[in-house]
Structure 1
Amino acid sequence: MTSVLQRPRLRRAALRYADHEWPVLPGACLTGGRFTCGRAGCPTIACHPATESWERTATTDVSRVAAWWRSRPHSVLIATGRAFDVLEVPAHLGLRVLGAARLLAGVVGPGRGQVRGPVAVTPAGRWMLLVAPGDPLRPELDECLDVVRHGPGSWIPAPPTRLPEGPVRWAVSPEEVQWRLPDSYAVQAMLVDALGPYGRHAGLRPLLPRQSTGTRYAA
Protein backbone atom coordinates (compact mmCIF):
# COMPACT_ATOMS: atom_id res chain seq x y z
CA MET A 1 0.00 0.00 0.00
CA THR A 2 1.49 3.36 -1.03
CA SER A 3 1.85 6.24 1.41
CA VAL A 4 -0.73 8.29 -0.50
CA LEU A 5 -3.35 5.56 -0.14
CA GLN A 6 -2.47 4.88 3.49
CA ARG A 7 -2.73 8.49 4.73
CA PRO A 8 -6.54 8.48 5.24
CA ARG A 9 -6.31 5.21 7.15
CA LEU A 10 -3.55 6.55 9.41
CA ARG A 11 -5.55 9.73 9.97
CA ARG A 12 -8.70 7.83 10.95
CA ALA A 13 -6.75 5.73 13.45
CA ALA A 14 -5.01 8.76 14.96
CA LEU A 15 -8.35 10.53 15.41
CA ARG A 16 -9.89 7.45 17.02
CA TYR A 17 -7.05 7.24 19.55
CA ALA A 18 -7.23 10.95 20.36
CA ASP A 19 -11.00 10.74 20.75
CA HIS A 20 -10.43 8.12 23.47
CA GLU A 21 -7.95 10.38 25.30
CA TRP A 22 -4.80 8.63 24.07
CA PRO A 23 -2.16 11.34 23.42
CA VAL A 24 -1.13 11.15 19.77
CA LEU A 25 1.90 12.61 18.00
CA PRO A 26 2.97 12.53 14.35
CA GLY A 27 5.80 10.18 13.46
CA ALA A 28 8.23 10.33 10.58
CA CYS A 29 6.88 9.12 7.24
CA LEU A 30 8.02 5.80 5.82
CA THR A 31 9.57 6.35 2.41
CA GLY A 32 11.07 3.27 0.83
CA GLY A 33 12.88 1.51 3.63
CA ARG A 34 13.57 4.52 5.85
CA PHE A 35 11.69 7.12 7.87
CA THR A 36 11.96 10.82 7.08
CA CYS A 37 10.70 13.54 9.41
CA GLY A 38 11.62 16.61 7.34
CA ARG A 39 13.92 18.06 10.01
CA ALA A 40 17.20 19.24 8.51
CA GLY A 41 20.14 17.08 9.52
CA CYS A 42 18.10 14.45 11.37
CA PRO A 43 20.23 11.27 11.31
CA THR A 44 17.48 8.86 12.42
CA ILE A 45 16.15 6.59 9.68
CA ALA A 46 14.12 4.28 11.97
CA CYS A 47 10.65 5.08 13.29
CA HIS A 48 10.77 8.30 15.36
CA PRO A 49 8.70 11.40 16.17
CA ALA A 50 8.39 14.00 13.43
CA THR A 51 8.73 16.84 15.94
CA GLU A 52 11.72 17.59 18.15
CA SER A 53 9.71 18.45 21.27
CA TRP A 54 7.43 15.46 20.90
CA GLU A 55 6.52 15.17 24.61
CA ARG A 56 4.93 18.63 24.48
CA THR A 57 3.47 17.93 21.03
CA ALA A 58 1.52 14.78 21.99
CA THR A 59 -2.15 15.70 22.30
CA THR A 60 -5.73 14.46 22.41
CA ASP A 61 -6.97 17.56 20.56
CA VAL A 62 -8.70 16.03 17.54
CA SER A 63 -8.46 19.24 15.49
CA ARG A 64 -4.66 19.29 15.83
CA VAL A 65 -4.46 15.59 15.10
CA ALA A 66 -6.60 15.98 11.99
CA ALA A 67 -4.35 18.80 10.74
CA TRP A 68 -1.18 16.71 11.09
CA TRP A 69 -2.51 13.97 8.81
CA ARG A 70 -4.25 16.29 6.34
CA SER A 71 -1.43 16.22 3.81
CA ARG A 72 1.26 13.79 5.03
CA PRO A 73 1.15 10.04 5.84
CA HIS A 74 2.73 10.36 9.27
CA SER A 75 3.32 7.26 11.33
CA VAL A 76 0.89 7.17 14.26
CA LEU A 77 2.74 7.35 17.57
CA ILE A 78 1.19 7.41 21.04
CA ALA A 79 2.94 8.82 24.12
CA THR A 80 3.05 6.38 27.02
CA GLY A 81 2.95 7.07 30.75
CA ARG A 82 -0.20 9.17 30.47
CA ALA A 83 -3.30 7.23 29.42
CA PHE A 84 -1.45 3.92 29.69
CA ASP A 85 1.91 2.20 30.08
CA VAL A 86 3.13 -0.53 27.76
CA LEU A 87 4.86 -3.78 28.64
CA GLU A 88 6.88 -4.77 25.58
CA VAL A 89 7.72 -8.48 25.44
CA PRO A 90 8.81 -11.14 22.92
CA ALA A 91 6.16 -13.18 21.13
CA HIS A 92 6.47 -16.33 23.25
CA LEU A 93 5.67 -14.36 26.42
CA GLY A 94 2.89 -12.37 24.77
CA LEU A 95 1.18 -15.50 23.49
CA ARG A 96 1.33 -17.18 26.89
CA VAL A 97 -0.09 -14.16 28.69
CA LEU A 98 -2.84 -13.70 26.11
CA GLY A 99 -3.84 -17.34 26.40
CA ALA A 100 -3.85 -17.22 30.20
CA ALA A 101 -5.91 -13.98 30.18
CA ARG A 102 -8.52 -15.52 27.87
CA LEU A 103 -8.71 -18.61 30.05
CA LEU A 104 -9.18 -16.53 33.20
CA ALA A 105 -11.88 -14.43 31.53
CA GLY A 106 -13.70 -17.65 30.63
CA VAL A 107 -13.53 -18.92 34.22
CA VAL A 108 -14.51 -15.79 36.17
CA GLY A 109 -16.76 -14.25 33.54
CA PRO A 110 -16.57 -11.00 31.56
CA GLY A 111 -15.77 -7.85 33.52
CA ARG A 112 -14.48 -9.75 36.57
CA GLY A 113 -10.79 -10.08 37.29
CA GLN A 114 -10.16 -8.20 34.08
CA VAL A 115 -6.59 -8.85 32.92
CA ARG A 116 -7.16 -8.50 29.19
CA GLY A 117 -6.30 -5.24 27.53
CA PRO A 118 -5.30 -3.97 24.10
CA VAL A 119 -2.28 -5.77 22.62
CA ALA A 120 -0.32 -4.50 19.60
CA VAL A 121 2.21 -6.61 17.69
CA THR A 122 5.12 -5.42 15.55
CA PRO A 123 6.20 -7.24 12.38
CA ALA A 124 9.50 -8.07 14.13
CA GLY A 125 7.66 -10.11 16.78
CA ARG A 126 7.50 -7.71 19.71
CA TRP A 127 4.23 -7.68 21.65
CA MET A 128 3.07 -4.47 23.34
CA LEU A 129 0.65 -5.04 26.22
CA LEU A 130 -1.24 -1.87 27.18
CA VAL A 131 -1.85 -1.55 30.93
CA ALA A 132 -2.95 1.07 33.46
CA PRO A 133 -0.14 3.60 33.99
CA GLY A 134 2.13 4.21 36.96
CA ASP A 135 3.49 0.89 38.21
CA PRO A 136 7.21 0.08 37.81
CA LEU A 137 8.41 -3.34 36.72
CA ARG A 138 8.53 -6.10 39.29
CA PRO A 139 12.14 -7.07 40.18
CA GLU A 140 11.82 -10.40 38.33
CA LEU A 141 10.93 -8.57 35.12
CA ASP A 142 13.28 -5.65 35.60
CA GLU A 143 16.17 -8.12 35.43
CA CYS A 144 14.84 -9.69 32.21
CA LEU A 145 16.33 -8.00 29.15
CA ASP A 146 13.42 -9.14 26.99
CA VAL A 147 10.86 -7.12 28.97
CA VAL A 148 10.62 -3.33 28.60
CA ARG A 149 8.24 -0.96 30.32
CA HIS A 150 7.25 2.11 28.32
CA GLY A 151 6.16 4.79 30.78
CA PRO A 152 6.67 8.58 30.95
CA GLY A 153 9.09 9.87 28.33
CA SER A 154 8.41 7.10 25.83
CA TRP A 155 6.12 6.29 22.92
CA ILE A 156 5.01 3.38 20.80
CA PRO A 157 4.05 3.07 17.11
CA ALA A 158 0.35 2.28 16.94
CA PRO A 159 -1.59 0.35 14.28
CA PRO A 160 -1.83 0.76 11.34
CA THR A 161 1.66 2.33 11.26
CA ARG A 162 3.93 0.54 8.81
CA LEU A 163 7.52 -0.34 9.64
CA PRO A 164 9.96 -1.46 6.93
CA GLU A 165 9.14 -5.12 7.74
CA GLY A 166 5.37 -4.62 7.65
CA PRO A 167 2.49 -3.06 9.59
CA VAL A 168 1.97 -2.86 13.34
CA ARG A 169 -1.32 -4.66 14.07
CA TRP A 170 -3.71 -5.31 16.94
CA ALA A 171 -3.71 -8.83 18.38
CA VAL A 172 -6.39 -7.54 20.77
CA SER A 173 -7.97 -4.30 19.59
CA PRO A 174 -9.08 -1.55 22.00
CA GLU A 175 -12.66 -2.05 20.81
CA GLU A 176 -12.53 -5.76 21.71
CA VAL A 177 -11.92 -4.87 25.38
CA GLN A 178 -14.04 -1.69 25.25
CA TRP A 179 -10.91 0.46 25.67
CA ARG A 180 -10.38 -0.87 29.21
CA LEU A 181 -6.88 -1.23 30.61
CA PRO A 182 -5.88 -4.04 32.96
CA ASP A 183 -3.97 -3.54 36.19
CA SER A 184 -0.26 -3.48 35.41
CA TYR A 185 0.79 -5.70 38.34
CA ALA A 186 -1.85 -8.29 37.43
CA VAL A 187 -0.40 -8.54 33.93
CA GLN A 188 3.16 -8.52 35.29
CA ALA A 189 2.28 -11.45 37.56
CA MET A 190 1.17 -13.38 34.49
CA LEU A 191 4.41 -12.47 32.72
CA VAL A 192 6.45 -13.80 35.65
CA ASP A 193 4.50 -17.08 35.45
CA ALA A 194 4.95 -17.17 31.67
CA LEU A 195 8.72 -16.77 31.89
CA GLY A 196 8.98 -20.38 33.07
CA PRO A 197 12.03 -22.14 31.57
CA TYR A 198 12.91 -19.06 29.51
CA GLY A 199 14.00 -17.26 32.67
CA ARG A 200 16.15 -14.26 31.86
CA HIS A 201 17.45 -15.49 28.53
CA ALA A 202 17.89 -12.81 25.90
CA GLY A 203 15.67 -12.98 22.83
CA LEU A 204 14.51 -10.51 20.21
CA ARG A 205 15.85 -7.00 20.51
CA PRO A 206 13.38 -4.52 22.09
CA LEU A 207 11.71 -2.08 19.73
CA LEU A 208 13.02 0.85 21.78
CA PRO A 209 15.93 1.21 24.24
CA ARG A 210 15.89 -0.68 27.56
CA GLN A 211 15.39 2.35 29.85
CA SER A 212 11.85 2.96 31.00
CA THR A 213 12.17 6.75 31.02
CA GLY A 214 13.75 9.46 28.92
CA THR A 215 13.52 10.33 25.25
CA ARG A 216 13.56 7.23 23.09
CA TYR A 217 13.90 6.47 19.45
CA ALA A 218 13.26 3.13 17.80
CA ALA A 219 16.46 1.18 17.16
Structure 2
Amino acid sequence: MNNPTIGIDSVSWRDAFRIELRAEAIGLATRGWPVVPGTAPAGDGVSGPVPVHDDWQERAVADSGDVIEWWGGEVYSVLVATGSYVDAVEVDAELGHRAATLLRETGRPAPILAMPNGKWVFLTESGGELAGELATRPGVVRHGMGSWVPLPPTPFAHGVVHWRVKPEVWEWKLPRAGALHGVLARALATLPDNRDSEFHVHAA
Protein backbone atom coordinates (compact mmCIF):
# COMPACT_ATOMS: atom_id res chain seq x y z
CA MET A 1 0.00 0.00 0.00
CA ASN A 2 1.37 3.41 -0.90
CA ASN A 3 2.09 5.90 1.83
CA PRO A 4 0.26 9.13 0.89
CA THR A 5 2.51 11.20 3.16
CA ILE A 6 5.48 10.50 0.89
CA GLY A 7 3.81 12.24 -2.03
CA ILE A 8 2.69 15.13 0.16
CA ASP A 9 6.17 15.60 1.58
CA SER A 10 7.68 15.49 -1.91
CA VAL A 11 5.27 18.13 -3.19
CA SER A 12 5.89 20.32 -0.14
CA TRP A 13 9.66 20.07 -0.58
CA ARG A 14 9.37 20.88 -4.29
CA ASP A 15 7.24 23.94 -3.59
CA ALA A 16 9.58 25.16 -0.85
CA PHE A 17 12.64 24.73 -3.07
CA ARG A 18 10.91 26.44 -6.01
CA ILE A 19 10.06 29.40 -3.78
CA GLU A 20 13.66 29.59 -2.58
CA LEU A 21 15.02 29.54 -6.13
CA ARG A 22 12.50 32.18 -7.22
CA ALA A 23 13.37 34.42 -4.26
CA GLU A 24 17.06 34.22 -5.14
CA ALA A 25 16.36 34.98 -8.79
CA ILE A 26 14.19 37.98 -7.92
CA GLY A 27 16.80 39.32 -5.50
CA LEU A 28 19.52 39.08 -8.15
CA ALA A 29 17.35 40.64 -10.87
CA THR A 30 16.51 43.63 -8.69
CA ARG A 31 20.26 44.24 -8.36
CA GLY A 32 20.72 44.20 -12.13
CA TRP A 33 21.97 40.66 -12.58
CA PRO A 34 20.69 39.13 -15.88
CA VAL A 35 19.22 35.87 -14.58
CA VAL A 36 17.50 33.23 -16.70
CA PRO A 37 15.84 29.92 -15.75
CA GLY A 38 17.83 26.73 -16.17
CA THR A 39 17.06 23.05 -16.20
CA ALA A 40 16.95 20.93 -13.06
CA PRO A 41 19.05 17.74 -12.79
CA ALA A 42 17.44 14.72 -14.41
CA GLY A 43 19.86 12.02 -13.32
CA ASP A 44 23.43 10.99 -12.62
CA GLY A 45 24.56 11.87 -16.13
CA VAL A 46 23.66 15.56 -15.86
CA SER A 47 26.82 17.68 -15.70
CA GLY A 48 25.06 20.96 -15.05
CA PRO A 49 22.01 23.06 -15.89
CA VAL A 50 21.44 24.72 -19.26
CA PRO A 51 18.99 27.50 -20.16
CA VAL A 52 15.38 26.38 -20.48
CA HIS A 53 14.52 28.74 -23.35
CA ASP A 54 16.21 28.81 -26.75
CA ASP A 55 16.07 32.62 -26.74
CA TRP A 56 17.67 32.87 -23.30
CA GLN A 57 20.09 35.60 -24.39
CA GLU A 58 17.18 37.85 -25.34
CA ARG A 59 15.44 37.01 -22.06
CA ALA A 60 18.52 37.87 -19.98
CA VAL A 61 17.20 41.20 -18.76
CA ALA A 62 16.94 42.46 -15.20
CA ASP A 63 13.15 42.55 -14.88
CA SER A 64 11.74 41.14 -11.67
CA GLY A 65 8.28 40.86 -13.25
CA ASP A 66 9.59 38.42 -15.87
CA VAL A 67 11.49 36.53 -13.19
CA ILE A 68 8.37 36.08 -11.06
CA GLU A 69 6.55 34.66 -14.07
CA TRP A 70 9.38 32.34 -15.13
CA TRP A 71 9.78 30.80 -11.69
CA GLY A 72 6.05 30.80 -10.99
CA GLY A 73 5.37 27.09 -11.20
CA GLU A 74 8.56 25.16 -12.02
CA VAL A 75 11.67 24.22 -10.09
CA TYR A 76 14.09 26.00 -12.40
CA SER A 77 17.77 26.49 -11.72
CA VAL A 78 19.09 30.05 -11.40
CA LEU A 79 21.54 30.96 -14.16
CA VAL A 80 23.23 34.31 -14.74
CA ALA A 81 24.03 35.20 -18.35
CA THR A 82 27.62 36.39 -18.67
CA GLY A 83 29.06 38.94 -21.04
CA SER A 84 27.00 42.06 -20.38
CA TYR A 85 27.09 42.73 -16.65
CA VAL A 86 28.98 39.89 -15.03
CA ASP A 87 31.70 37.53 -16.27
CA ALA A 88 33.13 34.49 -14.55
CA VAL A 89 36.29 32.41 -14.44
CA GLU A 90 35.90 28.72 -13.61
CA VAL A 91 38.95 26.98 -12.12
CA ASP A 92 39.92 23.75 -10.38
CA ALA A 93 39.80 23.52 -6.59
CA GLU A 94 43.57 23.78 -6.10
CA LEU A 95 43.88 27.04 -8.01
CA GLY A 96 40.61 28.33 -6.56
CA HIS A 97 41.69 27.77 -2.97
CA ARG A 98 45.03 29.53 -3.53
CA ALA A 99 43.41 32.48 -5.30
CA ALA A 100 40.81 32.83 -2.53
CA THR A 101 43.64 32.97 0.02
CA LEU A 102 45.35 35.77 -1.90
CA LEU A 103 42.06 37.68 -2.13
CA ARG A 104 41.52 37.40 1.62
CA GLU A 105 44.99 38.81 2.19
CA THR A 106 44.08 41.91 0.19
CA GLY A 107 40.88 42.44 2.15
CA ARG A 108 38.88 42.82 -1.09
CA PRO A 109 37.29 39.42 -1.77
CA ALA A 110 35.49 38.62 -4.99
CA PRO A 111 32.19 36.72 -5.07
CA ILE A 112 33.13 33.03 -5.32
CA LEU A 113 30.90 30.06 -6.12
CA ALA A 114 31.53 26.44 -5.18
CA MET A 115 30.18 23.86 -7.61
CA PRO A 116 29.18 20.28 -6.72
CA ASN A 117 31.66 19.05 -9.36
CA GLY A 118 34.56 20.55 -7.39
CA LYS A 119 35.01 23.66 -9.53
CA TRP A 120 35.37 27.17 -8.10
CA VAL A 121 33.88 30.12 -10.01
CA PHE A 122 35.09 33.72 -9.52
CA LEU A 123 32.71 36.49 -10.60
CA THR A 124 33.91 39.80 -12.07
CA GLU A 125 32.74 42.77 -14.06
CA SER A 126 32.41 42.01 -17.77
CA GLY A 127 35.43 42.46 -19.98
CA GLY A 128 39.05 41.43 -20.28
CA GLU A 129 40.77 38.33 -21.57
CA LEU A 130 42.70 35.70 -19.68
CA ALA A 131 46.48 35.88 -19.68
CA GLY A 132 48.29 33.16 -21.59
CA GLU A 133 49.27 31.07 -18.59
CA LEU A 134 45.67 30.99 -17.37
CA ALA A 135 44.13 30.46 -20.80
CA THR A 136 46.32 27.40 -21.42
CA ARG A 137 45.81 25.76 -18.02
CA PRO A 138 43.51 22.73 -18.30
CA GLY A 139 40.23 23.25 -16.51
CA VAL A 140 40.28 27.06 -16.57
CA VAL A 141 37.22 28.43 -18.40
CA ARG A 142 36.31 32.08 -18.89
CA HIS A 143 32.58 32.67 -19.18
CA GLY A 144 31.80 35.78 -21.25
CA MET A 145 29.35 36.68 -23.99
CA GLY A 146 27.14 33.75 -24.96
CA SER A 147 27.75 31.78 -21.77
CA TRP A 148 26.27 31.45 -18.29
CA VAL A 149 27.04 30.11 -14.82
CA PRO A 150 24.66 28.60 -12.24
CA LEU A 151 24.06 30.51 -9.01
CA PRO A 152 23.01 29.26 -5.56
CA PRO A 153 20.96 27.34 -4.70
CA THR A 154 20.92 25.71 -8.15
CA PRO A 155 20.81 21.90 -7.82
CA PHE A 156 23.10 19.43 -9.57
CA ALA A 157 22.71 15.66 -9.56
CA HIS A 158 24.97 15.41 -6.50
CA GLY A 159 24.54 18.63 -4.55
CA VAL A 160 23.80 22.32 -4.94
CA VAL A 161 25.81 25.37 -5.92
CA HIS A 162 26.72 27.50 -2.90
CA TRP A 163 28.61 30.69 -2.13
CA ARG A 164 32.12 30.53 -0.75
CA VAL A 165 32.14 34.32 -0.68
CA LYS A 166 28.75 36.02 -0.97
CA PRO A 167 28.32 39.19 -3.08
CA GLU A 168 27.15 41.18 -0.06
CA VAL A 169 30.59 40.75 1.55
CA TRP A 170 31.77 43.42 -0.90
CA GLU A 171 28.45 45.26 -0.94
CA TRP A 172 27.49 43.62 -4.25
CA LYS A 173 30.37 45.26 -6.10
CA LEU A 174 32.07 43.10 -8.71
CA PRO A 175 35.87 43.29 -9.04
CA ARG A 176 37.43 44.47 -12.28
CA ALA A 177 38.15 41.51 -14.54
CA GLY A 178 41.80 42.45 -15.03
CA ALA A 179 42.44 42.70 -11.30
CA LEU A 180 40.87 39.31 -10.59
CA HIS A 181 42.68 37.70 -13.50
CA GLY A 182 45.92 39.07 -12.06
CA VAL A 183 45.20 37.42 -8.71
CA LEU A 184 44.49 34.12 -10.45
CA ALA A 185 47.76 34.40 -12.39
CA ARG A 186 49.71 35.05 -9.19
CA ALA A 187 47.97 32.12 -7.53
CA LEU A 188 48.81 29.89 -10.48
CA ALA A 189 52.49 30.84 -10.24
CA THR A 190 52.61 29.63 -6.62
CA LEU A 191 51.31 26.13 -7.34
CA PRO A 192 53.95 23.36 -7.10
CA ASP A 193 53.71 22.23 -10.72
CA ASN A 194 54.32 25.78 -11.98
CA ARG A 195 57.20 26.43 -9.56
CA ASP A 196 58.84 23.21 -10.74
CA SER A 197 58.42 24.22 -14.37
CA GLU A 198 59.98 27.63 -13.74
CA PHE A 199 62.93 26.00 -11.93
CA HIS A 200 63.71 23.70 -14.83
CA VAL A 201 63.52 26.55 -17.34
CA HIS A 202 65.96 28.72 -15.34
CA ALA A 203 68.26 25.79 -14.66
CA ALA A 204 68.54 25.00 -18.36
Q: How does 1:1-219 map to 2 (within 5 A)?
A: 2-31=13-42, 33=44, 46-105=48-107, 114=108, 116-195=109-188, 196=190, 197-199=192-194
Partner residue, 2:199: none
2:159 aligned partner, one-letter code: G
Q: Which amino acid aligns with 1:75?
A: S
The percent of aligned pairs where both chains have the same amino acid is: 37
Describe the SS at the equivalent of 1:29: coil
AA paired with 1:67? E
User: How far is the alpha carbon of 1:55 from its aligned partner?
Assistant: 0.8
Calculate the TM-score normalised by the size of structure 2: 0.83
Following superposition, the deviation at residue 134 of structure 1 comes to 0.7
Partners of 2:40 and 2:155 within 8 A in 1? no
Would you say the 8 A contact 1:117–1:179 is kept in 2? Answer: no
Task: Kindly provide the amino acid, as one letter, of the partner of residue 100 in structure 1.
Answer: L
SS in 2 for 1:30: coil
For 2:54, the aligned partner's letter is E
Answer 1 or 2: which has greater helix percent.
2
| Counterpart residue type for residue 62 of structure 2 | T
Query: What's the offset of the Cα at 1:30?
Result: 3.1
Structure 1 residue 31, shift from structure 2 partner: 4.4
1:176/1:46 CA distance change after superposition, 3 Å: closer
Q: Aligned with 1:176: secondary structure?
A: helix
TM-score w.r.t. the length of structure 1 is 0.78
Q: Which moved more, 1:51-60 or 1:187-196?
A: 187-196
How many pairs are equivalent? 182
Is 2:81–2:149's contact at 8 Å kept on the other side of the alignment? yes
Q: Gaps (5+ residues) in structure 2?
A: 1-9, 195-204
Structure 1 residue runs of 4+, over 4 Å off? 31-35
Superposed CA offset, 1:176-198 (max 9, x none): 11111112222212212212323
Q: 1:66 to 1:124 in 2, by over 3 A?
A: same
- Counterpart CA distance in 2 for 1:62 and 1:125 is 31
Q: How far did 1:150 drift?
A: 0.3
Structure 1 letter corresponding to 2:156: L
- Show structure 1 runs of 5+ residues with no match: 36-44, 106-113, 200-219
What is the alpha-carbon root mean square deviation over aligned residues? 1.9
Q: Give the deviation of 1:5 after TM superposition.
A: 2.4
Question: How much has 1:47 moved relative to structure 2?
Answer: 1.5
